[in-house]
Chain A
Amino acid sequence: MTDHHLVLLRARGISKRFGGVQALSDVGFTINHGEIYGLIGPNGAGKTSLFNVLTGIYTPDAGEFTFDGLPLAHQKPHEVAARGIARTFQNIRLFANLSALENVMIGRHVRTTAGVWGAILRDARTRAEERSIEKRAYELLEYVGVHRRANDLAKHLAYGDQRRLEIARALATEPKLLALDEPAAGMNATETAALKILLEDIRRDGTTILLIEHDMKLVMSVCDRVLVLDYGKKIAEGSARDVQVDPKVIQAYLGGEVSLNLKGAD
Chain B
Amino acid sequence: MSAAIHSLFDFRKNPRAAWVGLALVGVALIALPFVLAGIGTAWVRITNLAILFVLLSLGLNIVVGFAGLLDLGYIAFYAVGAYTYAALASPHFNLHLPFWVILPIGAAVACFFGVLLGTPTLKLRGDYLAIVTLGFGEIVRIFLNNLSQPINLTNGPQGITLIDPFSIGSFSFAKNETIAGLAFTGPIKYYYLLVLVLVAVVIVNLRLQNSRIGRAWEAIREDEIAARAMGINTTRIKLLAFAMGASFGGISGGIFSATQGFISPESFVLVESVMVLAMVVLGGMGNIWGVILGAVLLSFVPEVLRYTVEPAQKALFGRMLVEPEVIRMLLFGLALVLMMLFRPAGILPSALRKRELEAPRR
Contact = CB atoms under 8 A, between A and B. Distances in A.
Q: Is the interface of B mostly helix, strand, loop or mixed?
A: helix
Interface string B220-235: 0011011111111110
Among A81, A114, A152, residue most surrounded by chain B Cβ atoms (within 10 Å): A81
B240 interface: yes
Given A99-B352, A153-B356, A81 B208 contact: no
B207 A119 contact: yes
B208 A106 contact: no
A89 B229 CA distance: 10
Interface residues of A, number: 45
Contacts of B244: 116
B207 A78 contact: no
Given A95-B223, A98-B222, A156 B356 contact: yes
Contacts of B222: 94-98
B229 A114 contact: no
A78 B228 contact: yes
Contacts of B207: 119-120, 122
B353 interface: yes
Contacts of B229: 55, 57, 77-78, 81, 86-87, 89, 93
Contacts of B232: 78, 106, 109-110
Interface residues of B, number: 32
B267 to A, nearest CB: 29
A139 interface: no
B216 A106 contact: yes
A221 interface: no
Contacts of B214: 119
B4 interface: no
Given A110-B230, A119-B208, A153-B359, A57 B215 contact: no
Interface string A121-134: 01000100110010
Contact of B226 (A95, A119, A126, A130): A95
A116 B226 contact: no
Interface string A195-223: 00000000000000000000000000000
A60 interface: no
A1 B230 CA distance: 28
A109 B218 contact: no
Given A94-B223, A156-B356, A156-B362, A119 B230 contact: no
A186 B216 CA distance: 29
A170 to B, nearest CB: 8
A41 interface: no
Contacts, number: 118
Interface centre among B214, B215, B232, B353 (most CB of A within 10 A): B215
A187 interface: no
Contacts of A55: 229
B204 interface: yes
Interface in B190-229: 204, 207-208, 210-216, 218-219, 222-223, 225-229
B355 interface: yes
B344 to A, nearest CB: 13
Given A116-B244, A120-B208, A105 B215 contact: yes
A115 B233 CA distance: 13
Interface string A149-183: 00011011000000000000110110000000000
Given A81-B231, A99-B352, A153-B359, A114 B212 contact: yes
A97 B220 CA distance: 12
A127 to B, nearest CB: 10
A156 B204 contact: no
Contact of B212 (A76, A78, A96, A112): A112
Nearest to B223: A93
A171 to B, nearest CB: 11
Interface string B238-255: 001000100000000000
A109 B230 contact: yes
A230 interface: no
A107 B232 CA distance: 9
A82 interface: yes
B352 to A, nearest CB: 6
Contacts of A81: 228-231
A233 to B, nearest CB: 26
A57 B359 contact: no
Q: Which of A78, A94, A129, A133 has the most CB of B within 10 A?
A: A78
Contacts of A115: 212-213
A110 B231 CA distance: 5
A102 interface: yes
Given A77-B229, A108-B212, A156-B359, 7 more contacts: A77-B225, A78-B231, A93-B225, A95-B223, A110-B230, A126-B211, A156-B356
**Shortest 9 CB-CB distances between A and B: which pairs?**
A110-B231, A81-B231, A119-B211, A95-B222, A77-B228, A93-B226, A114-B212, A106-B219, A78-B233
14 contacts: A76-B233, A77-B225, A78-B233, A93-B223, A93-B226, A96-B223, A98-B215, A106-B232, A118-B211, A119-B212, A129-B212, A130-B212, A153-B352, A169-B230
